[in-house]
Chains A and B, each alone.
Chain A
Amino acid sequence: MSTETLYQTWYMTQRQLMAILRQPVFLVITLVQPVIWLFLFGSLFRKVVELPGFGAGSYLDYLVPGVVVMSAVSSNMWAGMGTLEEIERGTLNRFLTTPVSRTALMNANVVQQGCSTAVQSVLIVLLGKLGGADYPGGIGGLLLLLLASVLLGTIFGAGSNAVGMLVRQRESIIGINSFLLLPLTFLSSAFMAPGLMPSWMRHIADFNPVNWALVAGRSAMSADPDWGDVLSRGGALLALAVAAVWLSTRTFHSYQQSV
């Protein structure tokens, strides 16, 4: 990647971050939603830790990574809406007729989404701390949870961008998102210990990237991390994220076939 591409990535990222900061309503909603999850699920399921075999001491400890990961999915899967808006407004076409590198255009989306996911995750972790959650894995474990949620967000963000560019219909993105979010979350260990999940669900969860992020994050955050789990799930997330970004960059070509 040339220096010019790096510069361009930075300028395009800056543009997107400024746009987010200038839309306070959007900002507040993205930040408030995780708080609601944390509060609702925390109160609703408080007693599940008492089930034999759950394994965690406090449900909040268990819930924080769940909400971090769920929020990473739910905020990034709307990325395609922004792309769609830029297509409809003509902004994408304007950029495509300048010498800006296509890689920089797509990377800016990834970096911006990564930054947003990181900020959101940090806030959830801090809120959890305020509520009395305990993070025995320390700062290192939390950073790995953050990394896992950013990678997971990248997968869904890039996928959503690709759908936006290929299908170019808001309804499709809305449909796909509503269809996916809850099943993906509940087919993972986000809210329920894997040992208490029906075995068929547990098998599906093994193939669910949302669960990979949870397994890697929770393990890294525990007092005694299983580094094999962290590396295998983390590596799988990284590979999938790279593939998703590559795919979404490819969709530029098919987009240009159709303009």
Chain B
Amino acid sequence: MTTAAPAVEADGLIKTYPGGVTALDGMGITVAAGTVFGLLGPNGAGKSTTVKILTTLARPDSGTALVAGHDALRHPDRVRRAIGVVAQKSGADPVATGRENLLLQGRLYGRRGAELGRRADELLERFDLAAAGGRLVRTYSGGMQRRLDVALGLMHRPQVLFLDEPTTGLDPEARTAMWEEISRLAGEEGLTILLTTHYLEEADRLAERIAIVDRGRVVAEGTPDELKGELRGDAVHVELRDTPDEVDARLLATALGEFAAVREVTVDGRRLSARADDGPAAVPHVLAVLDRQGAAVATVTVARPSLDDVYLRYAGRRFADADTGTGGSAAKAAVPATSAGGAR
């Protein structure tokens, strides 16, 4: 396997769905072989569409996509042989056993005989499904099903593994277990992993490089540290005991602004935020300034920049606000409560 050629090279992908919804608007990524690459963005940003194109499921309106050295548009069959896909939806057959699912998957790639059975058993063992291998998949827990999905994707030893939101819907414990498994996979046999996620923490923890996707395009790309480093410095958040009036708020901001170690001071209600090159060192000075202005302080926190801050900077909105899809269930749940309140 040549390490020089990228495992995935997509450029200028444009995809419009019937009805005029633009899913991709010039999407492009390059994934070096043997690395874990994270596509990070809210639901609807275009992550899944990108994966569908790269895995030969969907075709773009225009653009190019090379996967494992093959053109996904002209030679989809060659790409299919080289990739493993773990889609958002499970896809395992619920009325077949875990082992039967694996055997069928292997057979579709032309694997036969004793090697096929050995590979299935090896994966069942590895994903802690050995005891459940003979049970119908519909009896599996969510975490077990997800592990089987990953095993299915690995059955034919692919060069590139696509993991489309591998931990969405899992409970925290199962999620941590899945993270460990993915980290372990990443070190193996030069496997390249393309991971999509809308969990900032997940991308931060698993991916060597991250592309932040918003509205069908990559808006920022780099290692997690590079992306966070571009924000220069720590965030200092101060919660005041009382909400300052408008004049006081402006006075506070001005007073802090004169102090060279902090910048980008904002006051929003009781919440005062600033950025500092060295957060901990700036705290005493900030407190001294506030004390002099007569503003009583409730709490002070210093935070290293998070990917959320990065997202805010490049996409121009908070991650949680943009992520309308996941917020959907909460929002829907809130609707009847609101209307009930209105009726009262």
Contacts and interface: CB of A to CB of B under 8 A. Distances in A.
Interface in B94-133: 94-96, 100, 104-105, 107-110
A27 interface: no
B193 to A, nearest CB: 16
A259 B52 contact: yes
A90 B87 contact: yes
A90 B104 contact: no
A93 interface: yes
B80 to A, nearest CB: 5
Interface string B52-79: 1001111100000000000000000100
A19 B94 CA distance: 9
B104 A93 contact: no
B13 to A, nearest CB: 15
Given A97-B80, A259-B52, A15 B104 contact: yes
Contact of A99 (B57, B81, B152): B81
A22 B55 CA distance: 32
A86 B212 CA distance: 32
A104 to B, nearest CB: 9
Given A18-B96, A19-B96, A23-B95, A94 B17 contact: no
A195 B105 CA distance: 55
A259 B108 contact: no
A11 interface: yes
Contacts of A8: 107-108
A259 B17 CA distance: 9
Nearest to B107: A11
Q: Which of B17, B81, B92, B104 has the most CB of A within 10 A?
A: B104
Contacts of A97: 55-57, 80, 83, 85, 87
Given A7-B107, A11-B107, A259-B58, A94 B95 contact: no
A18 B152 CA distance: 19
Q: Place the interface of chain B in its size category.
A: 20 to 34
Contacts, number: 75
B283 to A, nearest CB: 50
Given A18-B96, A99-B110, 19 more contacts: A4-B110, A7-B107, A15-B93, A15-B96, A18-B95, A18-B100, A19-B93, A19-B95, A22-B136, A23-B95, A88-B89, A90-B88, A90-B91, A97-B80, A98-B80, A98-B109, A99-B109, A257-B58, A257-B59
A12 B91 CA distance: 14
A171 B57 CA distance: 26
Contacts of B243: none
A100 interface: yes
Interface of A: 4, 7-8, 11-12, 15, 18-19, 22-23, 88-91, 93-100, 256-259
Given A18-B96, A91-B91, A259-B52, A98 B105 contact: yes
B91 A99 contact: no
B144 to A, nearest CB: 16
B87 to A, nearest CB: 5
Contacts of A23: 95
B89 A93 contact: yes
The 7 closest A-B pairs by CB, nearest first: A90-B89, A94-B91, A90-B91, A19-B95, A97-B85, A98-B108, A100-B108
9 contacts: A4-B110, A15-B96, A22-B136, A89-B91, A90-B87, A93-B89, A93-B91, A97-B83, A259-B57
B18 interface: yes
A89 to B, nearest CB: 6
A256 B58 contact: yes
Contacts of A257: 18, 58-59
Nearest to B85: A97
Nearest to A253: B59
A11 B108 contact: yes
Nearest to A88: B89
B93 to A, nearest CB: 6
A207 B88 CA distance: 46
A96 B56 CA distance: 8
B127 to A, nearest CB: 17
A8 B80 CA distance: 15
A258 B23 CA distance: 12
B108 to A, nearest CB: 4
Contact of B152 (A11, A94, A96, A259): A94
Contacts of A22: 95, 136
Nearest to B54: A97
A95 B92 CA distance: 10
Contacts of A19: 93, 95-96
Interface in B10-58: 17-18, 52, 55-58
B41 to A, nearest CB: 19
Contacts of A99: 77, 80-81, 108-110
Contacts of A91: 91-93
Contacts of B95: 18-19, 22-23
